[in-house]
């Protein structure tokens, strides 16, 4: 008998979830389209004032990306619980937390990465100065996985409750406040020509903390969810 | 006899599970040795599925004691030794049976000298290995899930209604798998309303009372 090693199991998990995401790629386009439409609404609502749009561009892109991620977050464990895959995962000899970490990574790659790819386009539409673009992208690269990890814990906690989508939004959005403050702070500083690494470093520190703790919390929450 | 000296694989003393402070089934006592098959019998709602989920470690024991190889049950001790197949088949509908099996092998490991093609053939899914599970019939989906029995190494099988949705050949397949597993020193707990055509001696019966 040959048991599966943890790296093998992690690779299998990542491969499976990315394959599934690719087979359901119609679903993946939706958060991106949503983000584009929301970002386009702002100039219509606020008028084509260049200075105003430049000032709000970074904030609009950040909040839009965040809301678009929220749309997709709900589905993170839903299908796995429905078809019994989660039971099999819990019963496997592999430690649950790293396996869930792989699931969160696959979810981030499938939902947040496309949003990051279109974000320069959104920022460009709102006339964000090119000088602030690197700060925006770096802030998004750190803030989106942080949101995926925080969101995963909340999804795991709200699994099995009715109307969990709404509950999830109400629980996650307050947690997003510091993330948005630091991310927007970095871009604002870059726009004014000030050093912007400090808020980015804070985001990175929070991300490292979340990478370690969130999968553990997720694993505990899902075990409780199955135990009923 | 060394077999008699070895502690039973699974042993339950006054085992019960409570849901919202109400016992789901009356306290149970049983022993399951390696090479034995036990039938879990009971009416609908008598707690057969709950018992199997409890033994798999998905639920926590509310009362009584559960021993694994003579020591109190612990997740780490029996990790990878228990194969649970419930009503939910754990098959991803967008993936083919082959992809589902490859993932299961990555997660749980696989027996030596076993190929995915061989497993699919034996499960009666030759020619359907690369079809998305979504397009398979209910019986074929069940076969795709049962294929894991051939693939994964495990000492104890916990099978919840393994005969559901299967045709005559499928039922024969399950019986063949059960006999081979028990002959090879494995243990099985099966819940089923249907008759089990098991030819490896009289199986133990665990009666469930709500």
Q: Across the interface, which of A19, A84, A92 has its CB nearest the CB of B108? A: A92
Q: Which residues of B touch A79 (CB under 8 A)?
A: 92
The dihedral over CA atoms of B148, B153, B154, B158, expressed in degrees to the nearest 10, equals: 10
Q: Are A157 and A150 in contact (CB under 8 A)?
A: no
A-B Cβ pairs (cutoff 8 Å, strict): 100
Highest mean pLDDT among A155-169, A177-191, B44-58: A177-191
Which of A49, A73, A53, A41 has the alpha carbon at shortest distance from A173? Answer: A73
Distance to chain A for B209, nearest Cα, Å? 20
Tens-place pLDDT, residues B102-111: 999 998 888 8
Q: Angle at CA B146, nearest 5°, toward B144 and B150?
A: 105
CB-CB under 8 Å, A89 with B107 = yes
Residue B11 is inside which H or E element, if any? strand B10-16
Beta pairing partners, B32: B10
Residue from A93, A98, A227 whose CB has the most chain B CBs within 10 Å, to mutate: A93
Predicted local distance difference test score (pLDDT) of residue A35: 95
pLDDT digits (tens, 9 = 90+) for B47-88: 888 899 988 888 888 888 888 888 888 887 887 888 999 888
Predicted pLDDT at B209: 74
3-state secondary structure B94-135: CCCHHHHHHHHHHHHCECCCCCHHHHHHHCCCCCCCCCCHHH
Residues of B in contact with A160 (CB under 8 A): none
Chain B: give the shortest CA distance to residue A67, in Å. 27
Distances (CA, A) of B169 to A154, B127, B173, B203: 45, 17, 6, 22
Residue in chain B lying closest to A89 (CA): B107
In this prediction, residues A100-118 reach a mean pLDDT of 95
CA distances to A93, A169, A172, A181, A186 from A175, in Å:
33, 10, 5, 11, 18
pLDDT one-digit tens code per residue, A40-97: 999 999 888 889 999 899 999 999 999 999 988 888 888 888 888 998 999 888 899 9
pTM: 0.90
CB atoms closer than 10 angstroms to residue A186: 29
How far is B200 from A185, CA to CA, in rounded Å?
A: 72
How far off is chain B from A218, nearest CA to CA, in Å? 16
Q: How far apart are CA B174 and CA B179, in angstroms?
A: 9
Going from the C-alpha of B201 to that of each of B38, B93, B101, B178, B183, the distances in angstroms are: 11, 38, 31, 12, 11
59-98 in chain A: CB under 8 A from chain B: 79, 82-85, 87-94
Q: Is the ipTM of this complex over 0.85?
A: yes
Taking 50 as the pLDDT cut, the residues of chain B under it are 1-3
Q: How many Å apart are CA B73 and CA B65, to the nearest integer? A: 8
Q: Who wins on pLDDT, B25 or A207?
A: A207
Question: A26 touching B, CB under 8 A?
Answer: no
Supply angle C-alpha B93, A155, A23, rounded to 5: 25
The backbone torsions φ and ψ at residue A84, rounded to the nearest 5 degrees and listed phi first, read 85, 0
Name, in order, each residue with C-beta under 8 angstroms of A117's C-beta and a sequence gap of 6 or more.
Answer: none
């Amino acid at each position: 008998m040959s048991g599966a090693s943890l790296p093998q199991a992690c690779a299998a998990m990542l491969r499976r979830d990315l394959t599934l995401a690719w087979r359901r790629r119609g679903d993946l386009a939706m958060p991106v389209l949503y983000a584009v439409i929301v970002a386009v609404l702002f100039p219509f609502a606020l008028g084509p004032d260049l200075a105003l749009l430049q000032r709000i561009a970074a904030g609009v892109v950040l909040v839009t990306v965040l809301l678009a991620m929220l749309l997709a977050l709900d589905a993170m464990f839903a299908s796995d619980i429905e078809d019994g895959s989660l039971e099999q995962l819990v019963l496997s000899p592999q430690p649950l937390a790293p396996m869930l970490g792989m699931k969160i990574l696959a979810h981030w790659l499938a939902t947040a990465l496309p949003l990051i790819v279109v974000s320069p386009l959104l920022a460009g539409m709102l006339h964000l100065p090119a000088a602030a673009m690197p700060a925006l992208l770096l802030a998004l690269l750190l803030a989106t996985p942080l949101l995926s990890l925080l969101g995963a814990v909340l999804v795991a906690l709200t699994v099995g409750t009715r109307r969990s989508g709404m509950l999830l939004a109400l629980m996650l959005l307050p947690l997003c406040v510091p993330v948005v403050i630091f991310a927007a702070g970095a871009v604002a500083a870059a726009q004014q020509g000030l050093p912007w690494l400090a808020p980015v470093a804070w985001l990175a520190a929070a991300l490292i903390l979340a990478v370690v703790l969130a999968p553990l919390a997720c694993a505990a929450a899902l075990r409780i969810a199955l135990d009923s | 006899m060394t077999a008699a000296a070895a502690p039973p694989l699974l042993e339950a003393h006054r085992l019960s599970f409570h849901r919202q402070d109400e016992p789901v089934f009356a306290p149970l006592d049983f022993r399951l040795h390696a090479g034995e098959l036990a039938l879990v019998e009971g009416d609908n709602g008598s707690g057969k599925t709950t018992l199997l989920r409890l033994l798999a470690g998905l639920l926590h024991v509310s009362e009584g004691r559960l021993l694994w190889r003579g020591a109190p049950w612990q997740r780490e001790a029996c990790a990878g030794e228990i194969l649970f197949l419930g009503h939910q088949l754990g098959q991803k509908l967008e993936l083919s049976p082959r992809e589902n099996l490859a993932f299961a092998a990555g997660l749980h490991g696989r027996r030596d000298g076993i190929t995915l093609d061989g497993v699919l053939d034996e499960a009666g899914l030759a020619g359907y290995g690369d079809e998305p599970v979504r397009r398979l019939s209910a019986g074929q989906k069940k076969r795709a899930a049962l294929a894991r029995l051939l693939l994964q190494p495990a000492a104890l099988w916990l099978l919840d209604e393994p005969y559901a949705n299967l045709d005559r050949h499928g039922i024969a397949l399950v019986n063949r798998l059960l006999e081979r597993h028990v002959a090879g020193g494995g243990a099985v707990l099966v819940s089923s309303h249907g008759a089990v055509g098991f030819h490896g001696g009289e199986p133990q019966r665990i009666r469930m009372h709500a």
